Amino acid sequence: MLVRRTRSAAALLAAAVALTACASQSTTSAVPAPAAAASSAVPSASSASSSASSPLTITDPWVKTTEEGMTAAFGTLVNNTDTDVTVVSGASPLSPEIELHEVVDSGGEMVMRPKAGGFTVPARGTHPLQPGGDHIMLMGVTEKVEPGAQIAFTLTLSDGSALEFTAVGKDFAGGEEDYRPGGDMDGDMDMGGHDDKGKDAHTGGDDQ
């Protein structure tokens, strides 16, 4: 009788050990699954970042609101390559005539004129387009540009490639800068009200 009880106890002990081992194996095998799922998500994020890159981009593009006539577009050009990139021309449905302009000191007077050679953006660098400096000049505008308006632009690069973007209409008031090449930039900024007279002033300013 003692021998049978001993054997029964031994059998129960062995069964308990086996169940514990099974439970341990089940718990261990479940751990790698979440890790594998997490690692598989990493490449997709990297791919998205890579596909979003382009040679030239522009940040915060905007257009000065206007009734009609003339206005200008601004932003910051960003070169994502290891070589200089040059913008040679621009186009927009808003204007039949667009020029790349700079503001220079001419005989003690700040005037605007087309920038020879266009805008050159250094390798891995930026080139600001801002009031009082380089900008995209739009002439012959016949549509009102209101705050929040979406204006399409295409900038052509020297290698024939193009940068397409949308600029937002924005009211602007600061230290005076009449966007008519040849105009005096002293006083308070008033970039609105460009009309046919503004076009005449622009033509005269280009002769300098």
125 and 177 belong to one structural domain: yes
With bands split at pLDDT 50, 70 and 90, how would you rate the model's confidence at 54?
low
202 and 162 belong to one structural domain: yes
106 and 175 belong to one structural domain: yes
**pLDDT at residue 107, rounded to an integer:** 87
103 and 167 belong to one structural domain: yes
pLDDT average, residue stretch 29-35:
40
25 and 123 belong to one structural domain: no
With bands split at pLDDT 50, 70 and 90, how would you rate the model's confidence at 39?
very low
pLDDT average, residue stretch 124-135:
96
38 and 71 belong to one structural domain: no
Pick from 130, 131, 135, 105: which is nearest to 118 by CA?
Answer: 135
Which helix or strand (DSSP H or E) is residue 89 part of? strand 85-91
The enclosing domain of 125 has a CATH number of 2.60.40.1890
pLDDT average, residue stretch 59-86:
96
pLDDT average, residue stretch 119-133:
97
35 and 7 belong to one structural domain: yes
158 and 113 belong to one structural domain: yes
pLDDT average, residue stretch 34-38:
38
The range of the structural domain enclosing residue 171 comes to: 56-206
Backbone angles phi, psi at 196, to 5 degrees: -60, -35
35 and 62 belong to one structural domain: no
Q: What is the pTM of this model?
A: 0.63
pLDDT average, residue stretch 130-144:
95
96 and 16 belong to one structural domain: no
Which residues are within 8 A (CB) of 171 and not within 5 positions of it... i.e. 6 or more apart?
64, 65, 147
**pLDDT at residue 174, rounded to an integer:** 53
60 and 91 belong to one structural domain: yes
